[in-house]
Structure 1
């Protein structure tokens, strides 16, 4: 039987990459975004709590039971901290944290009612570990999403729903909703493997976490970042000579 995967933020970037990977393998995909993103689309603004709560129900009724949810929708506007308004802060939290919580909870209830197992993969970010100027709302939302992943995994595990997250490093995407300058991209994309990520790098990690091979994995955050979270490649050697200890 063909699996049914629901992907939010599906019109571009990582979400689109996830949709493309699954579709290429013959998996049934329902794409959720603020604009139509394929033949099986649900148009919804996930900042709206009611819209987020209904996404799984709409997909389930229209296209059949959902097996996997990928919460890839996210926004990262640039807003200096001293200029942050409540509305700007709240919209980022609503899209990046509240929507995944509502969608995951709805999915869990649907699976429990139908006696089905399932998997959720949230798209986190290296920003959960390292703050950056203009992104207090975004970094906070991704840190919260990582904890949401763990909390949901604990409560949904007994009903057979696994919840994990992929935390990408900088990924090159063409997104009108979340544009970045080349200067910014160059500053945040340094990593041990020496190249920027592409959506397919993240999509393959999502597929693994949602698949049978990761059947005993839940509540984890898989960092797919070329080694960026392991440490900095931008620093010089702290000592350019041979110490007494080394000579000994």
Structure 2
């Protein structure tokens, strides 16, 4: 039986790769993005089983309308992938209500409302389903200019767990996939060369590719992951395990007697009194 998949943000690098991966596996696709022309090009590349529904997810009604329309016009939905997101460079001291609300409307409110609409329809039809929210390593740690974005992704991970808790008894699994740094060309979320060069190494020694994320999304929505819900799958080359590019506290071979002394102001670690 053909799987019907909705992908938001499908004209972007990661969303587009997710759509392509599902298409390669024979899925019926309903794609949405706020950029109609780019969305139509993406849908045309994927063939006749793909429909393009442009939508502005800052509109509070748009997520539910998208899911309800896809269900009514193209049949019951099996998988919802909330990949749409915006990544402004915005210092916390410069936040205003408009910027904050727009960011959270796309990155948090839209996935939550789309999931709620999907759940209502699936439960009413007695059907199982799977939801994947695209999070970010920023949910665990912020950086200058990334505080509002990091806040939205941290909230999205909690919303993922909350939805999984409540919807599991209906056979609806809700998980998140959290990319590390992935190289994509994006007019919506551009990344400077300086940022890309300073992002730091990960244990696997390369930046991510959109296809890395797409394969993880397809796996976690599939049969092999049927007993997984409420999880955040970090697909980041191991970057969330720690930091590779800090110097050692001691060099190999040093002992407490030969290690360089710390300065009076240097932080030290040890047992608390």
TM over 0.5: yes
Residue matched to 2:92: 81
Following superposition, the deviation at residue 205 of structure 1 comes to 0.5
**The 10-residue stretch of structure 1 (184-193 or 127-136) with the greater mean CA deviation from structure 2:** 184-193
Instruction: Give the corresponding residue for 2:27.
Output: 27
What TM-score comes out, normalization by structure 2 length?
0.88
Please give the per-residue CA displacement for 1:132-187, whole angstroms capped at 9, x wherever unaligned.
11111100000000000000000000111000000100001111000010111122
Whether the aligned pair in 1 keeps the contact of 2:32 and 2:52 (CA below 8 Å) is: yes
Q: Structure 1 13/189 Cα, relative in aligned 2: closer, same or farther at 3 Å?
A: farther
Decide which moves more: 161-170 or 52-61.
52-61
Give SS of 2:65's match: helix
- Mapped partners of 2:183, 2:206: distance in 1: 10
User: Which residue number corresponds to residue 174 of structure 1?
Assistant: 185
Could you tell me which residue of structure 2 aligns to residue 157 of structure 1? 168
Aligned to 2:67: 56
Which residue of the partner structure matches residue 203 of structure 1?
Answer: 214
Structure 1 position 214 matched with structure 2 position 244: no
SS at match of 2:61: helix
State the TM-score, normalizing by the size of structure 1: 0.96
Tell me what 1:239 maps to: 250
Hey, what's the Cα distance between the residues in 1 that align with 2:171 and 2:33?
Answer: 27
Give the match's secondary structure for 1:11: coil
- How far the C-alpha of 1:242 sits from its partner, in A, is 1.8
Counterpart of 1:3? 3
RMSD, aligned α-carbons: 1.5
Q: How many Å separate the matches in 1 of 2:144 and 2:255?
A: 41
Q: Which is worse superposed, 156-165 or 234-243? A: 234-243
1:45 to 56, 59, 64: 56
**Structure 2 CA distance for aligned equivalents of residues 241 and 178 of structure 1:** 42
**Partner residue in 2 for 1:12:** 12
Contact 1:80–1:135 under 8 Å retained in 2:
yes
2:139 to 107, 128, 137: 128
Counterpart position of 2:155: 144
Question: Which ranges of 4 or more aligned residues in structure 1 deviate by more than 4 Å?
Answer: none
Structure-2 residue corresponding to 1:191? 202
Distance 1:199 1:111 in 2: 29
Per-residue Cα deviation, 1:202-221 (whole angstroms, up to 9, x for no partner):
00100111001000000000
Given the superposition, is the C-alpha separation of residues 67 and 76 from structure 1 closer, same or farther in structure 2, using an over 3 Å criterion?
Answer: same
SS at match of 1:49: coil
Secondary structure, in 3 states, of the residue corresponding to 2:108?
helix
Larger radius of gyration, structure 1 or 2?
Answer: 2
Cα distance, 1:189 vs. partner? 4.8
Residue 79 of structure 1 deviates from its aligned partner by 1.3
Deviation at 1:35, TM superposition (A): 2.4
> Which residue among 122, 126, 129 is the counterpart of 1:111?
122
What are the superposed Cα offsets for residues 18-61 of structure 1, whole Å, 9 maximum, x if unpaired? 00111122111111111232150111011111011211101111
Deviations 1:87-138 (A, max 9, x none): 0011010100000000001100100011100000000000000111111110
Distance 1:199 1:189, change over 3 A: farther
